[in-house]
């Protein structure tokens, strides 16, 4: 059982951080609920691994506290926390058999004899490693090694949370899917909190119930995959999730209308009080921008290129010289490069300095 609380947690590798830029992880407060499957998503160098190492205790944060079920563990060493971690490169003790590898954490904690044997065999069964128990670690494939790394975490009865640091990086593509399904199944079977760090949106969105998106040492959005898709809280989330990413256009917004290069785009919500100095942009995903023949309403655009993605077609268009991506309906045929773009007003979001502005509902 573990609910993990991060309270004004921040970390800097510099001793006296002055500005925001000095932090590898900017001060944040966040709660990981017991039993959740979380993905920590972000590009390389955004602080994901720093955050993970703080939770597992490999790193002591320079600010703030970490609580497990309300108990302050900030100063506790990693072996005293009921947590396990799986690393990018599989860690297997070469000289030991698979059985000894799985037994290792238990032996280190003083468990011996029949209870140890039963536990090791149970976990080996869960991970489909029973047939390999007597083999040496060094001759196994990368995915089997990664299963052993995971097994050494699962085998400990005290473990309440498992952290994954890009665990599928060195796994063959066709085995990635299999191993990820295994993780999902284990999460359902065992009452464990799982935090999965990745920079791959597919991995994050398929694994997790909740995705935490990080950017530049900061958590920019926490939400279900659908929320991240439909209501990105930050233009970064819009760019990073989805392929192609969200269209972001500089605009002037007043009331329920956005003005982009002389064209008016309707909004579902009203924005009466936007900060005057901020950079205002609107964002709309290509999935909610549909191409239509010229004169069909919407805003006029110029079509530059059509990309056939197999199942769908994406049009690269220009709206007053600004590049955008849009969905092309199956039955659409275009004459020339003039077309019009229909935008779903509910899916057009307004951002001030990159952050989503909540409008006033109708």
Partner 1 sequence: MDKPVNQGAWLLVLPVLLIVAFSAILPLMTVVNYSVQDTFGNNQFFWNGIGWYQELLDPSTDLGGRFFDALWRNLLFSLLILLIEVPLGIAVALSMPRHGWRVAATLVVLALPLLIPWNVVGTIWQIFAREDIGLLGWAVNRLGIPYNYTADPLSAWVTIVVMDVWHWTSLVALLCYAGLRSIPDAFYQAARIDGASRWAVFRNIQLPKMHRVLLIAVLLRFMDSFMIYTEPFVVTGGGPGNSTTFVSIDLVKLALGQFDLGKAAALSIVYNLIILAVCWVFYTVMTRMDAQRN
Binding residues (CB under 8 A) for partner 1: these are: 53, 56, 58, 77-79, 83-85, 87-89, 91, 93-96, 104-105, 108-109, 136, 138-139, 149, 152-153
Tell me if 247 sits within 8 A of 301, measured CB to CB: no
3-state helix, strand, coil split of the chain in percent (to 5) is 30, 35, 35
Question: What is the rounded distance in angstroms from the CA atom of residue 189 to the CA atom of residue 179?
Answer: 15
> Which of 98, 348 has the CB closer to partner 1?
98
Residues 6 or more apart in contact with residue 171 via CB below 8 angstroms: 142, 143, 146, 179
Using the minimum distance from each CB to partner 1, give the nearer residue, 77 or 125.
Answer: 77
CB of 153 or CB of 298, closer to partner 1 = 153
Pairwise CA distance, residues 78 & 258, whole Å: 52
DSSP 8-state assignment for residue 160: -
Smallest gap from residue 29 Cβ to partner 1 (A) = 25
Report in angstroms how near the CB of residue 83 gets to partner 1 at its nearest. 7
Q: How far is the CB of 210 from partner 1 (least distance, A)?
A: 24
Tokens of 238: 């819009």
DSSP 60: -
Smallest distance, Å, CB 3 to partner 1?
20
Find the shortest distance in angstroms from Cβ 150 to partner 1.
11
Query: Do 83 and 57 form a contact (C-beta atoms < 8 A)?
Result: yes
| CA atoms in the 13 A half-sphere facing the CB of 18 | 0
Give the nearer residue to partner 1 in terms of CB position, either 93 or 177. 93
Nearest of 253, 211, 208 to residue 229 by alpha carbon: 211
Closest to partner 1 by CB, 109 or 304 = 109
With CA atoms as reference, report the closest residue to 183 among 135, 131, 223, 143. 143
Q: How far is the CB of 157 from partner 1 (least distance, A)?
A: 13
Which two three-digit tokens encode residue 307? 């990309």
**Nearer residue to partner 1 within complex by CB, 109 or 112:** 109
Q: Which is nearer to partner 1, 149 or 327 (CB)?
A: 149
Range list of β-strands (E), 33-174: 37-41, 63-68, 71-72, 83-86, 161-165
CB of 144 to partner 1, least distance (A): 16
Write down the least CB distance from residue 256 to partner 1, Å.
Answer: 53
- For partner 1, the closer of residues 137 and 359 by Cβ is 137
Are 162 and 83 in contact by the 8 Å Cβ rule? The answer is: yes
Strand-pairing partners, residue 214, are 219
- Tell whether the torsion through CA atoms of 329, 333, 339 and 340 is positive or negative: negative
Among residues 159 and 246, whose Cβ is nearest to partner 1?
159
Give the nearest distance from C-beta 170 to partner 1 in angstroms.
11
Where do the H-state alpha helices sit in 172-255? Answer: 173-189, 201-207, 225-230, 235-240
């Amino acid at each position: 059982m573990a609910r993990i609380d991060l309270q004004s947690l921040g970390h800097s590798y510099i001793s006296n951080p002055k500005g925001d830029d000095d932090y590898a992880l900017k001060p944040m407060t966040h709660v990981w609920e017991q039993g959740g499957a979380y993905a920590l998503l972000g590009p390389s160098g955004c602080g994901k691994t720093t955050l993970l190492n703080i939770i597992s205790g490999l790193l002591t944060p320079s600010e703030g506290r970490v609580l497990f079920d309300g108990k302050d563990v900030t100063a506790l060493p990693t072996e005293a926390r009921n947590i396990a971690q799986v690393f990018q490169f599989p860690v297997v003790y070469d000289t030991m058999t698979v059985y000894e590898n799985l037994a290792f954490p238990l032996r280190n904690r003083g468990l011996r004899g029949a209870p140890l044997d039963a536990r090791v065999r149970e976990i080996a069964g869960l991970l489909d490693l029973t047939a390999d128990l007597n083999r040496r670690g060094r001759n196994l494939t990368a995915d089997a090694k990664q299963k052993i790394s995971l097994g050494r975490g699962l085998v400990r009865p005290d473990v309440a949370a498992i952290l994954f640091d890009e665990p599928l990086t060195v796994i063959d593509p066709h085995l990635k899917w299999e191993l990820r399904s295994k993780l999902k199944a284990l999460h359902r079977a065992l009452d464990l909190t799982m935090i999965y760090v990745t920079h791959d949106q597919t991995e994050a969105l398929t694994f997790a119930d909740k995705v935490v998106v990080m950017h530049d040492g900061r958590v920019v959005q926490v939400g279900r995959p659908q929320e991240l898709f439909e209501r990105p809280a930050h233009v970064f989330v819009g760019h990073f999730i989805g392929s192609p990413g969200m269209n972001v256009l500089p605009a002037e917004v007043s009331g329920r209308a956005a003005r982009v290069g002389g064209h008016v785009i309707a909004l579902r919500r009203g924005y009466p009080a936007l900060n005057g100095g901020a950079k205002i942009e609107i964002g709309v995903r290509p999935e909610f921008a549909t191409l239509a023949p010229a004169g069909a309403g919407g805003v006029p655009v110029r079509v530059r290129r059509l990309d056939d993605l197999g199942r769908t077609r994406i049009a690269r268009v220009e709206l007053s010289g600004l590049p955008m991506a849009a969905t092309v309906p199956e039955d659409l045929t275009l004459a020339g490069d003039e077309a019009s773009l229909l935008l779903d007003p509910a899916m057009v979001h307004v951002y001030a300095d990159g952050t989503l502005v909540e409008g006033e509902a109708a």
